[in-house]
Structure 1
């Protein structure tokens, strides 16, 4: 069994990014069950909205360390 697992791991690590993502999704579904399509679509919509905000300049990204540093200054 351990040898089989190592062989599967090695094969998975040699996949391209798209196939790795697809495999990861299948494995997670096998653990957690199928995701509710409405919830999945809501997250896709949210990600798209955030992406558009970043691209238009309405939002900006900040590192966690910068955010924590700023928060500590305000306390």
Structure 2
């Protein structure tokens, strides 16, 4: 993990086309802006985890349905 200190208005560049800018720091929270190409998905980690778990659940349901259909 790379750890950097940044001040308001300063940025971090990832690759050639992603820029993360510190917009505000207040009450222990940091507001950031992310400039990236439209084809790059940007999700909060907790949302990403929720989506991944739901996808896994749907795969389990599908395999159960296939087992039932095979018996018919």
TM-score, normalised with respect to structure 2: 0.34
TM-score, normalised with respect to structure 1: 0.33
More relative contact order in 1 or in 2 (CA 8 Å, sep 6+)? 2
Answer 1 or 2: which has greater helix percent.
1
